[in-house]
Amino acid sequence: MVWLWMLLVLGSSSFAYISETLDYTAPRFNVSLDLPPEERWKPVIQQYNFTELQYFLNELLSLIKDDWSRSMYSIMADFFLDFIAKEPYVGEIRGIAKTLGLKTSELTLINIFYETVMACTSIIVETKEGYIYHGRNMDLYFHVDLRKAVLDVDFYRNGQIVYTGTTFLGFVGLYTGQSPHKFTISANAREDNQFLWKNALSLFIHRYPVSWLIRNTLNSALDFDSAVEQLSSTKITTEIYLTIAGTKPGEGAAITRNRDGLADILHLNVTDGRWYLVQTNYDRGTPHPEHDNRMHYAVQKLNSTEQENINQDSLYKVLSIPRVLNWATLHTTMMSAAFPEDYVSYIRNKRYYVFKRLN
Ligand SMILES: *[C@@H]1O[C@H](CO)[C@@H](O)[C@H](O)[C@H]1NC(C)=O
Ligand SMILES: *[C@@H]1O[C@H](CO)[C@@H](O)[C@H](O)[C@H]1NC(C)=O
Ligand SMILES: *[C@@H]1O[C@H](CO)[C@@H](O)[C@H](O)[C@H]1NC(C)=O
Ligand SMILES: *[C@@H]1O[C@H](CO)[C@@H](O)[C@H](O)[C@H]1NC(C)=O
Q: What is the pLDDT of residue 80?
A: 87
The answer to whether residues 45 and 165 belong to one domain is: no
Question: Residue 274: CB within 6 Å of ligand 3?
Answer: no
Q: Which of 300, 304, 345, 305 is nearest to 323 (CA)?
A: 300
- Ligand 4 atom closest to Cα of residue 297: 13
Which among 93, 96, 110, 120 is annotated as catalytic? 120
The answer to whether residues 162 and 295 belong to one domain is: yes
The answer to whether residues 105 and 155 belong to one domain is: no
Domain-located, residue 5: no
Residue 120 known to be catalytic: yes
Domain-located, residue 1: no
The answer to whether residues 304 and 229 belong to one domain is: yes
Q: What is the pLDDT of residue 253?
A: 98
List residues near ligand 2 (CB under 6 A). Answer: 49, 51-52
Domain-located, residue 142: yes
Domain-located, residue 3: no
* Strand pairing report for 118-126 and 4-10: unpaired
**Gap from CA of 268 to ligand 3 centroid (Å):** 9
Q: What is the pLDDT of residue 199?
A: 66
Range of the domain at 205: 10-28+119-356
The CATH number of the domain holding residue 271 is 3.60.60.10
Question: Residue 42: CB within 6 Å of ligand 4?
Answer: no
The answer to whether residues 75 and 139 belong to one domain is: no
pLDDT 10s digit of each residue in the chain, 359 long?
222 222 232 333 334 444 445 789 999 999 999 999 999 999 999 999 999 888 888 888 887 777 788 888 888 888 888 888 889 999 999 999 999 999 999 999 888 766 656 779 999 999 999 999 999 999 987 777 788 899 999 999 999 999 999 999 999 999 999 999 999 999 999 875 555 666 666 776 667 889 999 999 999 999 999 999 999 999 998 889 999 999 999 999 999 999 899 999 999 999 999 999 999 999 999 999 998 999 999 999 999 999 999 999 999 999 999 999 988 899 999 999 999 999 999 999 864 443 333 32
- Nearest-CA residue for atom 9 of ligand 1: 30
The answer to whether residues 152 and 46 belong to one domain is: no
Q: Which of 65, 81, 113 is the last residue of a domain?
A: 113
The answer to whether residues 147 and 75 belong to one domain is: no
pTM score > 0.75 for this model?
yes
- Ligand 2 atom closest to Cα of residue 52: 2
**Cis amide linkage into residue 289, ω under 30° from 0:** no
**Gap from CA of 247 to ligand 3 centroid (Å):** 18
Dmax (CA) of the chain: 61
* Strand pairing report for 132-140 and 13-19: unpaired
Q: What share of the chain is helix, strand, coil (3-state, %, to 5)?
A: 35, 30, 35
Nearest ligand, CA of residue 301?
Answer: 4
d(CA 312, CA 305): 12
The answer to whether residues 128 and 260 belong to one domain is: yes
The answer to whether residues 109 and 205 belong to one domain is: no
**Gap from CA of 303 to ligand 4 centroid (Å):** 6
Q: What is the pLDDT of residue 72?
A: 83
The answer to whether residues 97 and 162 belong to one domain is: no
Domain-located, residue 230: yes
Q: Which of 79, 113, 147 is the last residue of a domain?
A: 113
Give the helix ranges, DSSP H, for 116-223.
196-203, 210-220
Number of folded domains that form the chain:
2
Measured at the CA of 341, the angle between CA 340 and CA 347, to 5 degrees, comes to: 100
The answer to whether residues 105 and 124 belong to one domain is: no
The answer to whether residues 130 and 245 belong to one domain is: yes
